[in-house]
């Protein structure tokens, strides 16, 4: 009778997590169990999105923790980047160097729908946690592996972080070729986020196929593949063009501060000249650069002729020149859209307070999504997860803790 009661309590807890939000709408992925073995940005980003969509995401960390626990503002022992990437997940801390540690990870994988990892190819297999091993016990398992250069190939074993892919993809050099920018990295880990988003698409596609076939599979996403698949200038390279033609926007010093327009200067000049009769005062026989400078000054004079910034914006909109405020790190969260759409949410901080996180961007008419709680502390959910996912008893869990296979934050050395 006691065992049946335990099973009923466990089922009830899982049903509660798989249920809907406060408004009664269901979460799209509320019936999925996800084992997140990943670190840093790309893999944890996938796990965070799956969690926002309702999945029960359990992050597995070693006693040393994910390195992102050190990145950003630390509040109540949790850093900003770690909190953002892991809000709503549960956490178990397993020391795989201890006897039985690897087997514990396998046990969790046997009860999971999805495993997410972003180690170098071969690392998990070398530990006995590769896809073939895990799938032998769980044929329905879908594993997503994100790596720099793919699971096979001449560079599969290379380490890769976002800056490396930014350089290898040609993007860093392209900024110099087109814009004259220095050879330096971005201040956003674009390659990680792009790979994570493509990984999520591949993962959900594999789950959709599993519904038809009953079998899972291994999804291999390379950061370099993902970047080039997303690059909207790569067609110039494929067609052998002698040079790339810049089609991006340009910033202008308008009344009231800088304003981004959606077109480069030659197109802005053509539109404004035809619509508003602008003229450029370039001397006869002037070269191309002199004409460009004269036209730019004519555009700036036209912009400065407006008494108000709103008047300038209306004139731009009238001729289909799209404008954007050049917001700073200090003002970006002041955007009226950020406020109106609830892009920044308050969630529990795990210490009787609240902390701000950016929401996932999905808005459904008939489903719920969004951050569902605080980021977890190391080993915070050891007992609950192993009881629910693996059916371990309190005595078995206590034994694992005593043997230091399972660890918790307060036990870190």
| DSSP result, 265-324 | HHHHHHHHHHHH-----PPTT--HHHHHHHHHHHHHHHHHT-SSHHHHHHHHHHTT--EE
* 68, burial (CB in 10 Å: exposed 0-12, middle 13-18, buried 19+): buried
CA 404 remoteness from chain centre: 33
Q: Is 192 a catalytic residue?
A: yes
Residue 134, token pair as written in the block: 């895990």
Q: CA 189, 409, 46, 354 torsion: positive or negative? A: negative
User: Contact 236/244 with Cβ under 8 angstroms?
Assistant: yes
Task: Give the Cβ contact number of residue 369 at 10 Å.
Answer: 21
The neighbouring-strand residues paired with 141 are none
CA dihedral 391, 395, 401, 405 (to 10 degrees): -50
User: Contact 45/85 with Cβ under 8 angstroms?
Assistant: yes
Q: How far apart are the first and last CA of the chain?
A: 41
Query: Could you tell me whether strands 78-79 and 142-147 are parallel, antiparallel, or unpaired per DSSP bridges?
Result: unpaired
Q: Which of 192, 220, 225, 349 is catalytic?
A: 192
Task: Look up residue 148 and give its DSSP letter.
Answer: S
Separation of alpha carbons 304 and 307, rounded Å: 8
∠ CA 26-346-201, nearest 5°, is: 50
Residue 20's Cβ-side half-sphere holds a number of Cα atoms within 13 Å equal to 9
The neighbouring-strand residues paired with 324 are 260
User: Contact 88/52 with Cβ under 8 angstroms?
Assistant: yes
Active site residues: 192
């Amino acid at each position: 009778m006691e065992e049946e009661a335990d099973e009923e309590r466990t089922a009830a807890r899982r049903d509660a997590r798989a249920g809907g939000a406060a408004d009664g709408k269901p979460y799209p992925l509320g019936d999925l169990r996800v084992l997140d073995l990943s670190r840093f940005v790309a893999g944890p980003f996938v796990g965070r999105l799956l969690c926002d969509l309702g999945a029960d995401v359990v992050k597995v960390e070693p006693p040393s923790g994910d390195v992102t626990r050190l990145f950003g503002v630390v509040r109540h022992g949790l850093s900003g980047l770690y909190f953002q990437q892991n809000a709503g997940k549960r956490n178990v801390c397993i020391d795989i160097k201890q006897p039985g540690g690897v087997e514990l990870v396998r046990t969790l994988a046997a009860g999971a729908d999805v495993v997410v990892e972003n180690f170098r190819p071969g690392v998990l297999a070398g530990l006995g946690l590769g896809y073939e091993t895990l799938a032998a016990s769980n044929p329905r398992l879908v594993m997503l592996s994100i790596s720099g250069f793919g699971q096979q190939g001449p560079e599969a074993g290379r380490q890769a972080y976002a800056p490396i892919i930014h350089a290898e993809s040609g993007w860093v050099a392209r900024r110099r070729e087109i814009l004259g920018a220095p050879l330096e990295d971005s201040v956003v880990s674009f390659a990680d986020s792009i790979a994570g988003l493509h990984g999520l698409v591949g993962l959900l596609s594999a789950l959709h196929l599993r519904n038809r076939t009953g079998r899972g599979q291994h999804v291999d996403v390379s950061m370099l593949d993902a970047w080039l698949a997303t690059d909207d200038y790569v067609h110039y390279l494929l067609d052998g063009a002698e040079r790339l033609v810049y089609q991006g926007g340009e910033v202008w010093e308008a009344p009231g501060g800088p304003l981004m327009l959606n077109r480069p200067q030659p197109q802005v000049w053509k539109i404004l000249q035809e619509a508003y009769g602008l003229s450029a005062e370039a001397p006869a026989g002037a070269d191309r650069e002199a004409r460009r400078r004269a036209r730019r000054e004519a555009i700036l004079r036209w912009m400065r002729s407006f008494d108000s910034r709103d008047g300038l914006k209306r004139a731009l909109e009238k001729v289909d020149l799209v404008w954007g405020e050049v917001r700073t790190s200090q003002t970006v969260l002041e955007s009226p859209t950020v406020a109106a759409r609830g892009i920044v949410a308050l969630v529990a901080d795990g210490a009787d307070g609240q902390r701000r996180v950016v929401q996932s961007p999905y808005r459904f008419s008939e489903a719920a999504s969004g951050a569902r709680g605080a980021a977890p502390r190391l080993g915070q959910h050891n007992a609950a997860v192993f009881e629910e996912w693996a059916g371990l008893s309190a005595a078995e869990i206590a034994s694992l803790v005593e043997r230091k296979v399972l660890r918790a934050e307060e036990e870190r050395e």
